[in-house]
């Protein structure tokens, strides 16, 4: 968690929070404008994964009811449509999809379906198949 070290208040808050002297370190960080909830949730999910326990209400990679395509991929396709498939948007989407694919490939067995959808959208973007990208976003 890299706070803005130019802000002495944030540095002091982090110092107090990690010193062990604070009763509620999260409260101190929040007061200073430092939100670590996303990282904390990710850490909880990691601990649950390695311990074999499931966390109720897990927030990562939610799927839509019928499609199986993650909302993140649908958002990329919709964003392209809203940008009228500009060259810059298509290039940015390609970069984002490649990065997403790299992360998913760290666990190919667990992410097989998401990898397939990501590759499908990536290839549509690379080939500039606007109509098929529109169809993908529905």
Write down the domain spans for the chain.
8-51, 71-136
What are the per-10-residue average pLDDT scores of the chain (138 residues)?
A: 56 58 61 68 73 56 54 87 88 91 88 89 93 86
Q: What is the pLDDT of residue 98?
A: 93
- Sign of the Cα torsion 16, 17, 19, 21 reads positive
Query: pTM for this structure?
Result: 0.53
Q: What is the pLDDT of residue 111?
A: 84
The whole-angstrom separation of Cα 95 and Cα 9 is 36
Q: What is the pLDDT of residue 78?
A: 87
CB distance 133 to 125 below 8 Å: yes
Nearest C-alpha neighbor of 80 from the set 22, 137, 9: 137
Q: What is the pLDDT of residue 27?
A: 62
The whole-angstrom separation of Cα 118 and Cα 112 is 10
């Amino acid at each position: 968690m890299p706070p803005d070290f130019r802000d002495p208040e944030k540095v002091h808050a982090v110092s107090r929070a990690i010193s062990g002297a604070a009763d509620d370190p999260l409260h101190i960080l929040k007061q200073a404008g430092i939100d670590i909830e996303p990282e904390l949730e990710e850490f909880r999910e990691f601990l649950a994964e390695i311990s074999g326990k499931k966390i109720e209400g897990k927030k990562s990679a939610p799927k839509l009811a019928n499609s199986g395509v993650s909302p993140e991929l649908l958002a990329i396709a919709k964003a392209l449509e809203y940008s009228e498939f500009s060259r810059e948007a298509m290039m940015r989407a390609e970069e984002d999809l490649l990065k997403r694919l790299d992360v998913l490939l760290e666990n190919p067995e667990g992410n097989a379906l998401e990898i397939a959808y990501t590759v499908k959208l990536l290839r549509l973007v690379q080939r500039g198949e606007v109509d098929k990208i529109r169809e993908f976003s529905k």
